[in-house]
Amino acid sequence: MSKGGLLVLASQFAPRFFQIRRGTWLAIAVGLMVLLAIFAWAVLAAFGWLWGQGKSLTEGAPEAVRVIAAQVEQAVPRTREALGDLVPALKSEPPPRDVSGTDIGPVTRYPGLARSHWQRDGREITVSYEGRADYITVLDHYAKGFATQGYAQSVMSATPEAEAHDYRKGDERVRFEITRLAQGKIKATIIAIQP
């Protein structure tokens, strides 16, 4: 269309445009406002839905990463420690649970450690406990506990990462071993040798 054609069209439309009644203009304005309100509601509803979807994805992501990390850990040891620095959710672990069996004395289990192994082999009963605890505090707990019960101590081996002690009282013999594990965990093992 040429410029002349547009001017002719505008000149024909303009008189009709000004003849539209005030009520019609009001109806058009209300209609546009309703459409604008519906559009704003749709945008807010879509934003809310997307927010909810994103939130549920981020809440499920740490669990998915944990599952993947557990599978990788089987193939490549120490992966959890490396990934734990990158994904903080991996550092949180479920509380430890005792395996079946019973605690053996004479010293009570250090608080916060979970029974991770129990085995009877003839006259020997072996119980291991694991958990997050201070290595020296746990070592002192058992050393003082055996001393209080009247056991004589013999150190069998000692390094900065592990120690083994032999405790005797009459015919009773108990071997105690403690080992530092990764991420501030320790493992304490008691081997009771029955006469």
What does the pLDDT read at residue 85? 58
- DSSP letter assigned to residue 181: -
Sequence-separated (6 or more) residues with CB below 8 Å from residue 88? none
CA distances for 10 relative to 19, 22, 103, 114, 152, angstroms: 14, 21, 98, 88, 112
- Give the end of a domain, one of 70, 90, 123: 70
With respect to residue 106, please indicate whether it lies within any of the assigned structural domains: no
Q: Are residues 48 and 119 in the same domain?
A: no
Task: Please give the tally of structural domains in the chain.
Answer: 2
| Residue 76 backbone dihedrals phi, psi, to 5 degrees | -125, 105
How much is the average pLDDT of 59-71?
56
Q: Establish if 19 belongs to a structural domain.
A: yes
pLDDT of 20 reads 74
Tell me which of 46, 70, 94 is where a domain ends.
70
The answer to whether position 82 is within a domain reads no
- 161 three-class SS: coil
9/64 same-domain check: yes
Per-residue pLDDT at 83: 56
Q: Identify whether 107 is part of a domain.
A: no
66 in the same domain as 118: no
For the stretch 24-42, pLDDT in tens is 878 888 888 888 888 888 8
- What local confidence, expressed as pLDDT, does residue 40 receive? 82
CATH of the domain at 130: 3.30.310.80
Q: What is the pLDDT of residue 14?
A: 67
At 194, the pLDDT band (50, 70, 90 cuts) reads: confident
Say if residue 43 is exposed, middle or buried (CB neighbours under 10 Å; 0-12, 13-18, 19+). exposed
Q: Is residue 121 situated within a structural domain? A: yes
pLDDT at 180: 92
- Expressed as residue numbers, the domain containing 34 is 3-70
pLDDT digits over 137-187, tens only?
Answer: 999 999 999 999 999 999 999 999 999 999 999 888 999 999 999 888 999
